[in-house]
Structure formats: C-alpha cells, structure tokens
C-alpha cells in the first residue's frame, strides 16, 4: 500500500509531461511548460514594474540611447520567434554586473555590467542572451520542473510513512540532493547554454560581431570572485561557455555574413 503514492505519481508524471510539451524557438528542443503565455507575460510585467519602481532608472543619455538601439535591433532579429512581446529597454544605475529580460520583452541592464561588456558588441551578446531566456520560456520551464519535484517528494513522503523518522529524513535528504544536483542544476546550466546559443544567433542577425562573445567571457572570468564548481552551479563555467561559443562560431559568422554585408 505504501507504494501506491509512487505509482500514482508515476502515472501523473507521464500524463503531465506529455500533455504540456512545447518546442523552444530556433532550437526546436522539447520542453515542459504548463503556464499560459499571457499569464507568464502579465507576471513578467508586474515584476518589471516593481523592479523599476525600487531602482534608480537612468532616464536619458548616450548610454540609454545605445541600450535602446541595441535592444530594438535584437528584437527585430528575434522577430521570427517573438510571441508578441511589448518590448521595453531600461538602464538601471547599480553596481550589479547583471542584466535581465522578463517575459513580455521587459529588458533592464545594470550599469555595473557596462565595463565588462566593454563595447557595443559585448553588450549585444549580453542582451541577446537575456532576450533568448525570455523567448525560450526558461522561467516557466523551471517552474514546471520544480512543481514535479515537489509532487515527487510528497509522494515519496507518503510512501515512507512507515519508516522511523531518522530513516525518513535520510532518504528525503538524499532525494532532495539528487533532485538538486541531478535534475534542477543541470537543467539550469542547459538553459544558460541554450540562451548563449540563441542569443549569439540573434546578435549575429542584428549585425553585432559574434566574435566578441568568447572575449566577453574572458572578461567575465577575470571579473568573477569566489567561483562555485560547475556541478554545483546554476551556470556553466566561463571556460565551458568560451568553448561552446567557439564551437558555434562558424554558424554565427555565416548568419552574420548573410545579414550584414
């Protein structure tokens, strides 16, 4: 009887997984997403408005104009995959070396990343990566995987109900660690690599030099502090990313040459 929850979870997993399949634009990778796209975009807008209201948004200037111009070119390059985003681009005054794009095309660049980006091509690679995350629906996919993990832990907890507390904790702890290091973190690193690849193609389509991408990650690596081992990180190591960019570079240069004579 204790194994009935596991059996039921297995049946639910199969139904849930195969009934919520989509394809990632450009790569055609199958992904698990159960959130309505309009709901996802509404949540993105809500989060974006909250972040901007809590931040020091730089309203005008040469850098602001540059970010908006890069963003519009990237949005045009992504038009074939665009689900109908209402694009918006902002510069936030902050020491954070970061940028993001929320569902719906809401993009923000933190001023702290500008010295690392160093030039227009480097900034286009960064923004292309963030835009690729939103178009590929990586956030919604992570939420779907986390939901399945939670259901699996609940089913396991019910199945282990007859064990003593110490054994239950040990098994549940091992399951949690296995899910974290064996499923969630590898998926997150795959998302980062996929966004690197799609973003590189968008940057090349928009006539930004894709050869800046590995140089950017050389600079990122030089500016990183206290790096976590790759297996325990949500992101691939800079070395892995540089190697991947070099593998994708022939395709990116072909796209660049076709679009940017």
pLDDT recorded at residue 223: 78
Is 130 noted as a catalytic residue in this protein?
A: yes
Domain that holds residue 135: 4-259
Query: Taking a C-beta distance cutoff of 8 angstroms, is the pair 138, 131 a contact?
Result: no
pLDDT tens digit at each of 261 positions of the chain: 456 666 666 677 777 777 788 899 999 999 988 888 999 999 999 999 999 999 999 999 999 999 999 999 999 999 999 888 999 999 999 999 999 999 999 999 999 999 999 999 999 999 999 999 999 999 999 888 887 777 666 666 665 556 656 655 555 455 454 544 455 555 578 899 999 999 999 999 999 999 999 999 999 888 776 555 444 455 788 899 999 999 999 999 999 999 897
Q: What count of Cα atoms within 13 Å lies in the side-chain half-sphere of residue 243? A: 5
pLDDT recorded at residue 230: 46
pLDDT recorded at residue 181: 42
From the list 22, 40, 62, 130, the catalytic residue is 130
Q: How far, in Å, CA of 261 to CA of 258, rounded?
A: 7
- Number of folded domains that form the chain: 1
pLDDT recorded at residue 165: 62
Q: How far, in Å, CA of 192 to CA of 189, rounded?
A: 5
Tell the burial category of 30 from Cβ atoms under 10 Å away from its Cβ (0-12, 13-18, 19+).
exposed
pTM of the model: 0.83
């Amino acid at each position: 009887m204790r194994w009935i929850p596991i059996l039921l979870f297995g049946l639910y997993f199969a139904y849930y997984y195969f009934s919520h399949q989509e394809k990632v634009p450009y790569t055609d990778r199958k992904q698990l997403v159960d959130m309505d796209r309009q709901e996802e975009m509404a949540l993105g807008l809500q989060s974006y408005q909250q972040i901007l209201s809590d931040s020091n948004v730089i309203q005008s200037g040469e850098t602001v104009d540059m970010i908006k111009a890069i963003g519009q070119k990237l949005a045009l390059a992504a038009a074939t995959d665009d689900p109908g985003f209402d694009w918006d681009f902002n510069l936030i005054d902050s020491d954070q070396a970061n940028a993001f794009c929320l569902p719906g095309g809401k993009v923000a660049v933190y001023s702290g990343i500008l010295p690392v980006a160093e030039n227009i091509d480097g900034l286009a690679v960064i923004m292309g990566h963030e835009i690729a995350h939103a178009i590929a629906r990586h956030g919604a996919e992570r939420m779907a995987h986390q939901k399945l993990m939670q259901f699996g832990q609940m089913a396991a907890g019910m199945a282990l109900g007859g064990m003593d507390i110490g054994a239950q904790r040990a098994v549940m702890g091992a399951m949690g660690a296995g899910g974290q290091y064996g499923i969630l973190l590898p998926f997150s690193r795959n998302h980062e690599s996929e966004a690197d690849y799609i973003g590189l193609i968008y940057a090349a389509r928009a006539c930004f030099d894709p050869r800046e991408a590995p140089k950017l990650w050389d600079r990122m690596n030089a500016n990183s502090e206290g790096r976590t081992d790759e297996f325990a990180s949500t992101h691939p190591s800079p070395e892995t990313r540089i190697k991947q960019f070099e593998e994708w570079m022939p395709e990116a240069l072909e796209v660049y040459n076709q679009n940017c004579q």
